[in-house]
Chains A and B, each alone.
Chain A
Amino acid sequence: MPTLACRAFGRAPWVSIPDTDEIWPSAWPFGARPRIDEAARDRASSCNRLYGSRYNPLYQSGTIAVVLLIVLLVTGLWLLFLYRIGAPWASVAALTDDRLAGNWVRGVHRYASDASILAVVVHLGRMFLERRTHGPRLLAWLTGVGLLGLLFVCGWTGFVLVWDQFGELLAVEGARIIDALPILAKPLQLTFLGDQAIPSAFFFVNLFLHVALPLGLGLGLWLHVSRVARPTLLPPRRLWVAVVVGLVVLAFARPLRIAPEANPFRLAESVPVDWFYAFWLPLHAALPPWGAWLGVTTLVGALLAVPWLTGEPKGSAEPSRVDSRLCTGCEQCAHDCPYEAIAMVARTDGRAKLVAKVAQDRCVSCGICAGSCEVSAVGPPGRNGRDQLEWAKHDYDRPAVAGRVVMLRCAHAAGSQASSSDVLVTTVACVGSVHPNMIGAAMDAGASGVVLAGCPSRDCWHREGPKWATERVAGRREARLPAGVEPSRVVVVDATDAGAVAAAVAGLAVERTAQVAR
């Protein structure tokens, strides 16, 4: 097996990728700019060694959050039947005592709500560190920040519903924050601390919010994924089953207890706090109420400003163009585009079929359409199928390529690479953008095989590159490999999986040796 180390032969001139060094604004004041996006991707890919790229919880943090939301909805509906507005604490205490139909359901609900915060924060952090916050992901980032806020409010209303010591603490501290703004005629704190009983309307409104806000979460989630085609909402079945079973096991292994009932006449010495939702309490207790507003607005403002603070990456290329004379109207590019940037419209030149039309504002220049078009009629300027073929014919000269494995490696995929004389590496924007004709040109030049080393399938920078590349190589999708290219000599691998890449390279080299021997 050859050492997996490839010599970067340079970047194809038709490749246009963001410069990953440029993470921070040009005014970054602290010396060398950190390359956190690559570091984060390396870290995420190192998690692949434990769980595999398909089940990597870092890649799946967003879809795990959706599963948790579904768990919350199902368990929440059950708990809703057992909750009484007139006796909030007593009804929750009764269902907590019911080991069979109450306690574990409440436990699953509680642990799922905590896990959802964890999943969303991991998802948000990963997107930030990997710099997936702008361009086609701008809307997802902004709505994601909103969804996180909504999730917190949902959780707070849920804890207040119980009306135990923690619920009371959240209500009073929340009221203190709201009262810092001169918007309510009567301070909200008086509702909880005054000489009048808390009106049951309060618990009704709170319950209404707790039930209605998840609808807002659903709407937000729809917006969150609306910019992309075929959004993946659920993780693989084994993973979501593991998540749900894990929550149930946790609920039985560590049954929830209920804290003492809220009592405005007693200062609790120690309150059982859910730190996922109330991490801010100690800080808030030490600050004046306006400090909380200052902190929240600063944090939210900074999060919302991230796409603009980090700026548009260098090298953002022009959107794809369509050569309408060549377009056959097959619709493959429209099907393959991960951002729904291509639509098929009626032709104006009198020909019968439709013609592809690129929405300039939606196209991110990933080039996947270039790889999908049999006749090379579409693609970013200078990077469509014909441009790729021309480049390959020119640069893949026989002496340099003959007997070697050509690796077309995604510029976004994590993983290190060193040199080897066995492998010729060309960096591409996305393996999904590679036109099969380019693979054919490499094979024509005498390459022993072609390795398309892309992002992990669940973590593709352009969402569906490795998936489409695999199907094209297998002949299940346009554009197909040129006649004469054996599909067995073209391998699509996860670039972050060093073992798989080494095995692919070794396999192609061995096959070539066997062929020569024959």
Chain B
Amino acid sequence: MTRALAMAVAVVTALALVVGSVAPWRSHQGTDGRIRIAWSARPQRIEHCRQLSDEELAGVPAHMRQRVQCEGRAARYGLFGRIDGVERLGDTLRGGGARHEGMIHLLRDLPVAPGLRRLVVEVRRLDSLDPVADSLGTLTTDRERRMEATRERVRREALPAEVRLDTVVSLGAREVVLIGYDPDGQRFTLRSDPKRLP
């Protein structure tokens, strides 16, 4: 009797192990899909550059001498989103980091009922770029030219003043449509399940 009971306890423990090991959990209730906006982009810098005079340069320690000095901050952007004409998104985007000078990282999930949906997502720069006050004149050294080229590249790759996506998507039950950002084309991209059934 004791042996049978001991065996029964062991079997029940083993069964509990099996049951607890794989048991389903309904992680998403209902049939709603998601419009997921997930991308990273560099904000435009609002900066003022000027060339230091020879006298000013002489006052700077030798290892810190740079002819062109730039000061500024990263621009803020507004994020707006409408689905079937209904405002679903309205937010201000700032760069990451303590000084907000890093990349903008965005991740938003919008639950949407399945079907054909008109989707408008727009990002607009909120800060205007100040015109460059001083002409940088002739950049004489290689280093100065390289730094200016880098600044130019960063300006080119940054999120432009306005990016807009206006499209109609067909959203299946529990399907996710992903809105990303293509920095080369400076436009939003739309991706859905590649294995999606027709």
Chain B 163-189 against A: per-residue CB contact (8 Å), 1 yes, 0 no?
000000000001111111100000001
- Which residue among A111, A193, A265 has the maximum number of chain B CB atoms within 10 Å of its CB? A265
Stretch from A5-13, A272-280, A370-378, A433-441 contacting the other chain: A272-280
**Residue from B6, B27, B38, B97 within 8 A of A268 (CB atoms):** B27
Task: Please tell me if the beta carbons of A189 and B107 are within 8 angstroms of each other in the complex.
Answer: yes
**Residue from A187, A263, A272 within 8 A of B107 (CB atoms):** A187
How many Cβ-Cβ contacts under 8 Å join chain A to chain B? Answer: 117
Sorting the interface of chain B by its residue count into under 10, 10 to 19, 20 to 34 or 35 or more gives 35 or more
Q: Say yes or no for B39: interface residue by CB 8 A criterion.
A: yes
**Residue from A50, A193, A275 within 8 A of B9 (CB atoms):** A50
In the bound assembly, the distance between CA atoms of A169 and B27 in angstroms comes to 9
Chain A 187-210 against B: per-residue CB contact (8 Å), 1 yes, 0 no?
101100111100000000000000
Q: Say yes or no for A186: interface residue by CB 8 A criterion.
A: yes
Within 8 A of B (CB), among A76-96: none
Task: Please tell me if the beta carbons of A285 and B27 are within 8 angstroms of each other in the complex.
Answer: yes
Task: Please tell me if the beta carbons of B192 and A265 are within 8 angstroms of each other in the complex.
Answer: yes
In the bound assembly, the distance between CA atoms of A193 and B10 in angstroms comes to 42
In the bound assembly, the distance between CA atoms of A281 and B181 in angstroms comes to 31
Task: Please tell me if the beta carbons of A185 and B97 are within 8 angstroms of each other in the complex.
Answer: yes
Chain B 89-122 against A: per-residue CB contact (8 Å), 1 yes, 0 no?
0000000110000110101000000000000000
Q: Say yes or no for A266: interface residue by CB 8 A criterion.
A: yes
- Which residue among A49, A50, A187, A256 has the maximum number of chain B CB atoms within 10 Å of its CB? A50
Q: Say yes or no for A271: interface residue by CB 8 A criterion.
A: yes
Q: Say yes or no for A318: interface residue by CB 8 A criterion.
A: no
**Residue from B27, B33, B38, B102 within 8 A of A270 (CB atoms):** B27
Q: Say yes or no for A51: interface residue by CB 8 A criterion.
A: yes
A267-B18 in contact given A185-B97, A185-B103, A194-B39 (Cβ < 8 Å): no
> Shortest beta-carbon distance, B93 to chain A, in Å?
13
Q: Say yes or no for A250: interface residue by CB 8 A criterion.
A: yes
A250-B9 in contact given A265-B178, A267-B176 (Cβ < 8 Å): no
Q: Say yes or no for B28: interface residue by CB 8 A criterion.
A: yes
A274-B22 in contact given A118-B17, A194-B39, A195-B191 (Cβ < 8 Å): yes
Q: Say yes or no for B193: interface residue by CB 8 A criterion.
A: yes
Chain B residues whose C-beta falls within 8 Å of the C-beta of A274 in the assembled complex = 20-22
**Residue from B102, B180, B193 within 8 A of A195 (CB atoms):** B180
Task: Please tell me if the beta carbons of B6 and A282 are within 8 angstroms of each other in the complex.
Answer: no
Within 8 A of A (CB), among B30-54: 33-34, 36, 38-40
> Shortest beta-carbon distance, A397 to chain B, in Å?
43
**Residue from A110, A186, A269 within 8 A of B40 (CB atoms):** A186
Task: Please tell me if the beta carbons of A190 and B107 are within 8 angstroms of each other in the complex.
Answer: yes
Task: Please tell me if the beta carbons of B23 and A194 are within 8 angstroms of each other in the complex.
Answer: no
Task: Please tell me if the beta carbons of A272 and B24 are within 8 angstroms of each other in the complex.
Answer: yes
Task: Please tell me if the beta carbons of A194 and B180 are within 8 angstroms of each other in the complex.
Answer: yes
Q: Say yes or no for B138: interface residue by CB 8 A criterion.
A: no
Task: Please tell me if the beta carbons of A276 and B96 are within 8 angstroms of each other in the complex.
Answer: no
Q: Say yes or no for A264: interface residue by CB 8 A criterion.
A: yes
Task: Please tell me if the beta carbons of B39 and A195 are within 8 angstroms of each other in the complex.
Answer: yes
> Shortest beta-carbon distance, B99 to chain A, in Å?
12
A195-B21 in contact given A264-B176, A268-B28 (Cβ < 8 Å): no
Q: Say yes or no for A114: interface residue by CB 8 A criterion.
A: yes
Task: Please tell me if the beta carbons of B21 and A50 are within 8 angstroms of each other in the complex.
Answer: no
Q: Say yes or no for A351: interface residue by CB 8 A criterion.
A: no
Q: Say yes or no for B195: interface residue by CB 8 A criterion.
A: yes
In the bound assembly, the distance between CA atoms of A194 and B17 in angstroms comes to 36
A271-B24 in contact given A111-B18, A185-B103, A189-B107 (Cβ < 8 Å): yes
Task: Please tell me if the beta carbons of B25 and A282 are within 8 angstroms of each other in the complex.
Answer: yes
Task: Please tell me if the beta carbons of B38 and A272 are within 8 angstroms of each other in the complex.
Answer: no
In the bound assembly, the distance between CA atoms of A119 and B36 in angstroms comes to 41
Task: Please tell me if the beta carbons of A275 and B20 are within 8 angstroms of each other in the complex.
Answer: yes
In the bound assembly, the distance between CA atoms of A190 and B189 in angstroms comes to 16
Q: Say yes or no for A518: interface residue by CB 8 A criterion.
A: no
Q: Say yes or no for A476: interface residue by CB 8 A criterion.
A: no
In the bound assembly, the distance between CA atoms of A285 and B25 in angstroms comes to 12
Task: Please tell me if the beta carbons of B26 and A195 are within 8 angstroms of each other in the complex.
Answer: no
> Shortest beta-carbon distance, B157 to chain A, in Å?
16
> Shortest beta-carbon distance, A430 to chain B, in Å?
29
In the bound assembly, the distance between CA atoms of A186 and B195 in angstroms comes to 28
Chain A 236-274 against B: per-residue CB contact (8 Å), 1 yes, 0 no?
000000000010001000101100000111111111111
- With both beta carbons as reference points, the residue of chain B lying nearest to A193 in the complex is identified as B38
Q: Say yes or no for A115: interface residue by CB 8 A criterion.
A: yes
In the bound assembly, the distance between CA atoms of A340 and B191 in angstroms comes to 65
A246-B10 in contact given A50-B2, A187-B107, A266-B175 (Cβ < 8 Å): yes
A281-B103 in contact given A250-B17, A267-B176 (Cβ < 8 Å): no
A195-B20 in contact given A186-B105, A265-B191, A267-B33 (Cβ < 8 Å): no
A250-B14 in contact given A265-B192, A266-B175, A275-B23 (Cβ < 8 Å): yes
Q: Say yes or no for B5: interface residue by CB 8 A criterion.
A: yes
Chain A residues whose C-beta falls within 8 Å of the C-beta of B22 in the assembled complex = 256-257, 272-274
11 extra interface residue pairs, beta carbon distance < 8 Å, beyond A272-B24, A276-B21, A282-B25: A115-B17, A189-B107, A195-B179, A195-B189, A246-B10, A250-B18, A265-B194, A267-B27, A267-B34, A268-B27, A273-B22
12 inter-chain pairs at a CB distance below 8 angstroms, sorted by A residue, are A50-B9, A51-B6, A115-B17, A187-B107, A190-B105, A194-B38, A256-B22, A257-B22, A265-B193, A268-B28, A272-B24, A282-B25
The 9 A-B residue pairs with the shortest CB-CB distance in the complex, in nearest-first order:
A195-B180, A265-B193, A50-B6, A267-B174, A267-B28, A270-B24, A273-B25, A194-B38, A275-B20
